[in-house]
Structure 1
């Protein structure tokens, strides 16, 4: 069976149960990188050297890793279905991750950003994004009904994505992502002041793309600290950890399935935190 045939007849139809944004990503990798060079190859002829040579020809390391991951899932599935005897993608070396560290805001910059959005139409969305460490889609999907402004508790039970030019409501990423988080007191007080009578979404009638543009434009026009929306989550996590919040608590608030994920991607103490750690260690040493 040709890889083209396997995609059309078996693998792609089975992707219907996945998130729409995931399917779009898979289809992009397939159409741009996998199908043109490997589509007409028999599954049994997909050897490790052939796949390695194909990967090495992809100019972008990120695109190569994504394409390799999609091909690997395809061959895993083919083995499970008995269409292929062995998956050789494990013998291939994809490009290493870039080690990208997102730009984050420190606590002073967060304070400036919150003050700069006072009275703006996206203030409620920004407060929750900055104060709760939400994923981009989670913050976009928040409705006023999800906020209990008596207790300060916020239910995270959906996400809002922009996929192929339309909005898509999605379930939380994992079971632990369906969680309840708590707003700080100042946020509760301010949200009570600006809560609309009619409720609805925190972003109003804007779509995700418009939120991104309005947010970036206001930061530029008011000379406010700016990071992409997804980095507001990183900013909360890094400042919370820097302030001494236990990593297990931060992990739970972020909705991570493992504390190891939190430590790997968010536990990057700044130089002052490291300096204080050395002072503590030194005091113990010379006591």
Structure 2
């Protein structure tokens, strides 16, 4: 097959395959690597395709199995733990999911942004990372992408009964971590604006007032997790004390279909410091979670 013919066959699926790999792996960096491995494997195996299934099913089978291989390789899934530049209070918990990265809305197909938000939101992606790899694969292929049960079984080289068992266990685990529906767009924008106003004014109390009682703060790739208003307030005060005479500058964007902000720490006469990406998880009319990514995708994807 010529290069042009191969591109014509695979290009319509490139963007959705990238999102599939991201759902499986939780890392955009790893997803991009595995997508390239998938396309290379497809190119090399084009002679075995022979149209026995649709190109989409064939590519998803390759991508899923490449993702499963990556998920079994712990060396590529755990980035170095950053050291805070200030004395951070003791966290409530330490997360094992430190490879989580945001997914820019700019890379999403329009129908995903508006009709399948829950399948991209951070809480769902983080939940998938806690499942055994084959449970993750079965749930994404069947419940998110809607492949028939028998096709999922063939993709995973197993039987229908085994897939049903994987789905039952995965669904039960994710049901324990459900969240309320997100507010309408106007409320979402208002919450985001109030969060940004409070943070850029060093108003910790103003941020805390926006949180639910069970709110949490996580900071991949750091494992630190702060749960509850008091714990979050203690961390934020230590952080802002370190910022001292400088201040946060936030620029609104979107990630994982959620309100987000790129951030810098700035001061007159000093170079700006990249302070990561804030992504807000909303519940009702309050903020249920703040995820601050110190290592995230290229800034131009969030502009």
TM-score of the pair, normalised by structure 1: 0.26
Q: Give the structure, 1 or 2, with the largest relative contact order (CA under 8 Å, sep 6 or more).
A: 2
Structure index of larger Rg? 1
Higher strand share: 2
Higher helix share: 1
